[in-house]
Structures are given as C-alpha cells and as structure tokens.
Structure 1
Amino acid sequence: MQNLFLTSDKKARKEYNKLLKQTAKAVSDAFVNESAYSGPTPDELKEIVRQDSILPEHGLGWDKVFELTKEKVLPNLLRTPSTEYMPHLHGPSLLETIAAETIISTFNQSMDSWDQSPVATEIEVETIRHLCKLYGYDTSKADGVFTSGGSQSNQTALLLARDWFCNKQLNYDVKKYGLDEKCSKLRMYTSEISHFSMEKSCHIMGLGYKSVEKVPVDNRKKMDVSALRSLIEADIKAGNIPFLIVGTVGTTDFGSIDPLEELSQLAREHNMWLHADAAYGSGVIMSQKYSDRVKGLSLCDSITVDFHKMFLMPISCSAVLLKDGSTFDALTIHADYLNREEDEEDGYTNLVDKSMQTTRRFDALKVWMSFQTRGRDGWSKIITTSMENAAYLYSILRNDSDFAVITEPEISSVVFRYKGNDSLSGEELDEINKKVRRTLIHEHGTIIGQTVSDGRVCLKFTLLNPRVTHEKLDELKELIKKLAIS
C-alpha cells in the first residue's frame, strides 16, 4: 500500500513527480496538429473504448493503464485550445489555471467548512470581495459564492429571489413552512431564448414550468420590454404575483444582451428582484473598449458569472454575486458536525452557509491566480480580441451573398446560414447546413456549432479563443462554401 498519495515521504514525492511529468509529456504530445478532433464517429469511438472489464481481478498497475490511456483516450479528446474549435461556450484553459487545477486536485480542499479548507476559504472570500467590486457592487454589503456552473448559479439566485420576495412582500417564510397556495401564483419573466436552467430551476423549486413567463425578443434578439410590461400587467390582473425578472447578458446562441437599465426600472416599479444571467457576457467587463455594454450589471440584485466561458478557465468555475449578501440567510442551516455557531462567532467562516452544495472544489484559486497573472491589460486584450473577431466574421459573412447572418454580434457569437443562390428550398438548405457541420467534424477536425433560428437550421461560431486570426476566419468561410456545394 505504498505510494497511494503525495506525502512528505521521499518515495511518494518521487512517484508524484514522475506521474505528473509523464502525464504532462503525454498530454503535450497529443497536440500533434492544429485540428480540434481526430475524426472518429460515435460508433468508431464505442469500439475504441470497449473493454471486457474496467475492474480486473488484479490491478494492471500504472504503466499499463497509462499506455491504454495514451492509446485510447488522449488521441480522441477534443483539443479545445485549437483554433478549429468554436462550437459552444466551452473553450481552452489558460496555462496558469491548469497549474491551479493541479494544486486544487492534489490538496483536495473541501469548501464547506473552515477546518476543511483554511487558506482556501480565505482566498474565496477575498476573491468574491474583489469580484463584487469589479461588477459595481458596494463591497460592504455585497457577497457571493462559487458554484459548479451557470445553471447552479442561476438556481441559487432564483431560490434566493423567491424567498426574499415571499419574506418581504408576502410576509411568508418559505424556508420554514414550504410552498403555500400563494406561491403557486408566483411568476418570473425571462427571454424566450434564455437558458433552460430557468425552467429547470423553477421545477426543482416546486414552482413548475408554469411560473416561467417567456418574453418575446426583438430583431436584435433582446428582450422586448414593452412585451414584458404587458405580460406583467396581464398577470397582475389575473391574480398572479410577479416576483422576478431575469435579464440575459449574452444569450447562449446569439450573445445578445437584454436592456438591463430598463429592466431594472420595471423591477423597481413592481418591487421585483432583477437577476442577470451573465454566465456568458460577464467576461465583457474585462474589455477596456467594450465594458460599457454590460454596465447595467451593477443595477441587478444578483449576477451569474461563469469563468469557464469567456474567462477561459477549466470546467467547472462559476459564481453567483448578490448586491445584498444578507439574502444568503435563506440557505443557512447549522449542523454540530460542520458549521458550529460558536466557531463563526470567533471568526471561522464556513462557506456552506451560503451554498447549495456542501462539498465544493477550491475553484476560486483559478480566478485568484489568473487575474493576477494577466492583469487588467492582459485580460482586456483577450476579451477584446475575441469580440472583434466576431465583428470581423459578421462583416465578411454579411458581404457574401452566399450567407445570411441572423444578427450583429454584441459579444463573440456569430449565427449564420449558408443559403447559396436561393434556388433551393428551406428544407434542402437545412440539410446542406447540417452536412457541412458533420463533414467539418469528421473530415477536417473542425468543430463549429449548430442551432435553429426562425425554424431554420443555422451554423454558429463561438469565438472565445483569442488565437483565432482573421485569416483563419476567411479560410473557414471559404471551406464552408466549398463543402456546401460539393
């Protein structure tokens, strides 16, 4: 049972260094070219990974298992740092954040109680304080917590918004008494193209999909505020209870930004909570040139921030920020074995008090290290480059009669459709666009996205990687055109 873990023992430290050195070399060797994928189809991958058992009677040992990994896994992983990878809000990982992941995994802190993560707790608290300042909150009142991703950040915000509204406006404590008849009338409002975590969260909270009112968008894919006002007024007349508006700051497909200033005014008129789902667009704050596009974030009662999207950090890394940190009280419950009140009175912070999770990873370290490594100027260059790449791609597609572009990008996503000379039907063009995407994946190692707009199949570039050049975008446009007519 030797060398199970990294310890102070010399042999254990030697083994740890050996494994990490081997792994680092094998990973770097897997980057054989600039393609994003080696090409196997789903059926081919199933055959590659199929084994009689992954739990042999006697262990194979590290060397044999590592050879299997190098043979079957590493060559077939997506190479997200490639300039050929641009389908989703899922990008490469900055080098310093990969180093941070090694530290996180090796020390294996658990962020629920101080005695499981002493310095990690203090780093997260400090990082949250600076994030609140970055997004325009008063740091003497604001607070936040790291989460597993945008969906959990959104769910946390929605739950806190519901409990806040029930306590303040309905004089009813959901935390103590559960849902009552009035809660069945609660209504929230979100864009018709907002993230599906809105419906999922309301289901989990016991409000159901019926509590989610989907608001139409305009031709820029932004929430239509006039339509929102009409929906709120209609619900009030029907006896329903509006409690929450969600503004999306970077819709998943289009990167569109809802008008937060107008939404804030409407929320205040009706004593509603305003949440910003900025899982995508939160990174825009780092661009010295374009940060004004998200200046309305400081008006929101809560903000979802994702660091594994525009911020280019390893999955998972997200946070939810609150303008008034006392609202986290809705999640606090004390347990003698975990977050004792006497410890907290003596200055021991137990982060489980404001988290839906108990066990959590020390993801704040990635932000803490990367922000200091790159600085404001470095981050501004990364974010600005990606946004301007999107603007360039939009311009060359718009000026090419073979393509239709859905809307001008506000962040770094471009949704478009090959349409040729319009001699083909919509259904035929749908199939051509689907074929182009599949051919790119399996024959060219290039991965782009696919979605639907106005009932028609579209292609999508999600440009998070600042290594992408205008020349690369020119080449890909021409390749798509070539594949479409072949």
Structure 2
Amino acid sequence: MKTIFLTDSKTDKDEFKKISLEVSEAIADAFTDDRAYSGPTPQELKEIIRQDTILPEEGLGWEKTFELARKKILPNLLRTPSTDYMAHLHGPSLVETLAAEQIISTFNQSMDSWDQSPVATEIEVEVINHLCNLYGYSKEADGIFTSGGSQSNQTAIILARDWFCNEILKYDVKKFGINDRCLRLRMYTSEISHFSMEKSAHILGLGYQSVVKVPVDEKKRMDIKALRSLIEEDKKAGNIPFLVVGTVGTTDFGSIDSLKELSEIARENNMWLHADAAYGSGVIMSDKYADRVRDINLCNSITVDFHKMFLMPISCSAVLIKDGKNFNALTIHADYLNREEDEEDGYTNLVDKSLQTTRRFDALKVWMSFQARGKKGWSNLINTSMGNTQYLYSKLKEDKDFEVITEPEISSVFFRYAASENADEVNKKLRRQLIHQHGVVIGQTVSNGHVCLKFTLLNPLITHEKLDELKALIKQLAQ
C-alpha cells in the first residue's frame, strides 16, 4: 500500500475514499438476513479464521487483506442491529453515531490536553454541561467521559472516598495513602449490583471486605430496612460507613433502587450517594417513563452509559458529579501536559478530571445524536423499547408454561420455561439451540438457584409480532 495516512494529498484522499466506500459496501452486504448470528460454534470459528501467521514476511496489501476479512470475519460478526439480538445491555448503534465514529477514528484526537484536542475538548465540556442539566444538577456540577460503567463507578467511588476522608475524617488520603482507619471504611450496595463495586474496592486498597451487600425485596430493589440495620451494625462494630450506591437498572432485572430513601439515609450518616445508572440513565429521555428516575438529582454522582439504552457504539460513558470541585482528587500537574499557566489563561485540560490520560472523543457521538434526533425522537426510541417490555411481560405472565421472575421497570424481561421437571437443563439448552440453530441470541442467568432466560429489549425495531414469534419458538423448542 502506497498510502500511509489521510493527508491533503489528492492521491491519499482518493485512496481513503476508495477504501471507505469498499468497507461501507462490504459491511452493508454482510447484513444478508435478520439473524443476529450466523451460527458457528467456537470450534468451527477457530477453523474458519485460522491463518499460518497474522504477520507475513511480505504484506498482502489492502485488497487481499480486506478480502480475507470479508470472507472470514464479516459474515460471522454478531449483528447487534438484528431484532433477534437481545442478550445483553449491548445494543445496535444509531447511524449518525457510526458516522461520528469515523470522524473520531480519522482525526484521532486525544482528550487529555487542549492542544491535542482543541474543538473536541470544547465539545466535551459543552456536552457535559448539558448532561448535568438534563439530570437535574446545578451549575456547580461537572463530569467526564469514561471507557464505560465500570470506570465511571470507580471514578465516583474514588471521589467519594477522598471527599469523606478529607471532610469527615480530616485525613488527606491522596497525599498519605490508606491507613488503618481507612480499612474500616464501608460502602453499601444491592446484592445484585454490578461487580465493579468489588473491583473498585480492590483497586482502592479497601478490599472486598469494604463492600456490604444489602438484600433486595420482592421487586429486586435494595431493602431499605436492611440497609439501615447493616449501617447501624457496622457503626457498633467500629466500622465507618462512607458510601451508598443505588442502582438505577440492575444488570439482570432492570430494577431501580429508591434513590429518595437512599438520599435520606446518606444525609443522616454523612455519606456520599452514587447512582449507578449505567443501564437506566436512558429513561430520562422518555416523556412517558422519566418519572421512574426523577430522584436521580439527589445523588452526589451519576454513572451514565451511552452504549446501552442510548444506542451508541462502544465505548461511550460518563460520570457526573454534583459538586465539580470534588474532581480535585484526580488532579496532578505535569509540565509536558497540563501546565497551570495554560489553565489560568482558559485552556481546559480534561486529564485533570480523568483516571485515563489518553481518551477518545466519545462526546461527539452524544452531540451528534442529540442534535440529530432531538427530544421527541429520543423519547420515541425509549418509549418503544419500554413499551415492548411491558407487552412481552404481559404475554409471558398469562402463559402458564412460563414463570416471570419480576415485573420489569426498564427494558429487561426475566423469565424461565417452567413446564418441565428438568426446567434448568431445558432453559440452558434453549439458549444454545437459539443461537446456533436459529441465529437468535438471548441472555441466561440465575435467580433463586434456578436457570432463567432474559430478553433485553433495547432495539426499537422489535415489534409485538416479533416477540410473539420468539415466544412461540421457545415454547416449541422446549416441548
């Protein structure tokens, strides 16, 4: 290949356009039907992609390389826009955000310092300001884009720990590190919350011991009475409650903890309240269902994921902080990157607020999709998915062959085929049959010791007729 980069050269520009067109056509041609997956097993895939080496002595050039990708990879990629894909909180990508991805990759901005991403920095600041307003925060709020919900949660937990140590314990953990008293810090979260809570505690040196799992009620929400009891028990034992994490959309059930009650408990005990809304943050866009997350502005921090309900390419997430000054916990100056004199003159260096140094310009995806679709367009997308969820729930509930675990609050339907003496094995086999024989990809997990299936209905192209067909197919395969 003669062309190395896209430059102002006509030859380079022509080659870039040619390659871009070829790739676009091949991607479009790979969508041969509505199946989510072409069907090969792991063993079959290993044979399909096998090459003597991925680094030949002489390069194959663009045409031969792309032909390999066209034959071996594109046909076997998971097709997330398919209405047969509903396994995880991982959905299709809006077309305008695919365009944004091309811009992001081509210009390759690095979001750590202003001189590496001038207009990109200003766009991210603008988007964060609007997001803070959207979730009910005041002008004192701030935020930063992250790699995903895990990093957003980790950032919030770090800021909560540092705030608590500085303001309540009067100890500078940033300067002096963890001491014996810090090892008594305790954070409280639902027993079905995301595993990033334990991971973050480990990384912070607090250990899994610091994460207190609170039982859930019959609606899969954090049990408020149990939370109060656990906090009091810890206090009596000499431990130090510092953080409550409310989940706005649990991974399996989509359940929403009572943020209003959690905020009262946090305030009574001088604790930070974080909302892990990686899943449920999209509900705010609905003119019909937004009331379900109305108390989210009571939280000190919020995790928002745009590669879930917001239907944007991975990765795209943000953490919002009610009091932006708390980002000072992550600020450290380097002469080669975020010079203090530049910031005094109005140059924003976003690395001051981020766990990452190099970051992608993911805010562009949010900016473009919000501009393109507006409030009404977004409301229609969210309403459709949540309406589909209510429809499927009602259909499964009225069918005696199925057991529905809990009434959905967002867009996940959690159920099992129950008309069998060996229901657990039947449900396991159902998921495998669906993916390999029918190209249908659904989720599987466990509740109360039983294997269950899950539809995560993020795709607004799914119809009631489609849901009826899938329900009938599952019943047919099970019987």
- 1:277 corresponding residue in structure 2: 276
- 2:5 corresponding residue in structure 1: 5
Q: 1:456 aligns with which of 440, 445, 450?
A: 450
One-letter code of the match for 2:257? D
One-letter code of the match for 1:287? S
Q: State the secondary structure of the residue aligned to 1:468.
A: coil
One-letter code of the match for 2:125? V
1:50 CA displacement: 1.1
One-letter code of the match for 1:57? E
Q: State the secondary structure of the residue aligned to 1:36.
A: coil
Distance 2:164 2:2 in 1: 56
- 1:440 corresponding residue in structure 2: 434
One-letter code of the match for 2:327? F
One-letter code of the match for 2:137? Y
Q: State the secondary structure of the residue aligned to 2:242.
A: strand
Give unmatched runs, 5+ long, in structure 1: none
1:224 lines up with 2:223 in the alignment: yes
- 2:112 corresponding residue in structure 1: 112
Query: Residues 255-296 of structure 1: CA distance to partner in whole angstroms, max 9, x if unpaired?
Result: 000000000000000000000000000000000000000011
Distance 1:271 1:4 in 2: 57
Distance 1:203 1:51 in 2: 39
1:408 CA displacement: 0.3
Query: Residues 18-65 of structure 1: CA distance to partner in whole angstroms, max 9, x if unpaired?
Result: 000000000000000000000000000011111110000000000000
1:479 lines up with 2:478 in the alignment: no
Distance 2:56 2:279 in 1: 43
Q: CA RMSD in A?
A: 0.6
Distance 2:388 2:173 in 1: 47
Distance 2:47 2:344 in 1: 58
- 2:356 corresponding residue in structure 1: 357
TM-score when normalising by structure 2: 1.00
One-letter code of the match for 1:23? V
Query: Residues 109-161 of structure 1: CA distance to partner in whole angstroms, max 9, x if unpaired?
Result: 000000000000000000000000000000x2000000000000000000000
One-letter code of the match for 1:22? E
Aligned residue pair count:
479
Q: State the secondary structure of the residue aligned to 2:399.
A: coil
Q: 1:465 aligns with which of 459, 462, 465?
A: 459
Distance 2:2 2:128 in 1: 40
- 2:340 corresponding residue in structure 1: 341
One-letter code of the match for 2:477? L
Distance 1:32 1:103 in 2: 27
TM-score when normalising by structure 1: 0.98
Runs of 4 or more above 6 Å deviation: none
- 1:25-40 matches, cutoff 5 A: 25-40=25-40
- 1:184 corresponding residue in structure 2: 183
Q: State the secondary structure of the residue aligned to 2:217.
A: coil
- 1:83 corresponding residue in structure 2: 83
Distance 1:52 1:6 in 2: 31
1:340 CA displacement: 0.2
Query: Residues 363-396 of structure 1: CA distance to partner in whole angstroms, max 9, x if unpaired?
Result: 0000000001000000000001100100000000
1:328 CA displacement: 0.2
Distance 1:483 1:214 in 2: 38
One-letter code of the match for 1:454? N
Q: State the secondary structure of the residue aligned to 1:472.
A: helix
Query: Residues 342-362 of structure 1: CA distance to partner in whole angstroms, max 9, x if unpaired?
Result: 000000000000000000000
Distance 2:277 2:411 in 1: 14
One-letter code of the match for 2:150? S
Give unmatched runs, 5+ long, in structure 2: none
Identity over aligned pairs, percent? 75
1:3 CA displacement: 1.2
- 1:301-450 matches, cutoff 5 A: 301-420=300-419, 424=421, 428-450=422-444
Query: Residues 230-256 of structure 1: CA distance to partner in whole angstroms, max 9, x if unpaired?
Result: 000000000000000000000000000
- 1:205 corresponding residue in structure 2: 204
Distance 1:256 1:484 in 2: 28
Distance 1:350 1:37 in 2: 42
Q: State the secondary structure of the residue aligned to 1:32.
A: coil
- 1:175 corresponding residue in structure 2: 174
Q: State the secondary structure of the residue aligned to 1:276.
A: strand
1:2 CA displacement: 3.7
1:405 CA displacement: 0.1
- 2:295 corresponding residue in structure 1: 296
1:141 lines up with 2:140 in the alignment: yes
Query: Residues 180-209 of structure 1: CA distance to partner in whole angstroms, max 9, x if unpaired?
Result: 010000000000000000000000000000
Query: Residues 409-441 of structure 1: CA distance to partner in whole angstroms, max 9, x if unpaired?
Result: 000000000011x5x1xxx21100000000000
- 2:61 corresponding residue in structure 1: 61
Distance 1:38 1:441 in 2: 8
Distance 1:374 1:278 in 2: 22
Query: Residues 208-235 of structure 1: CA distance to partner in whole angstroms, max 9, x if unpaired?
Result: 0000000000000000000000000000
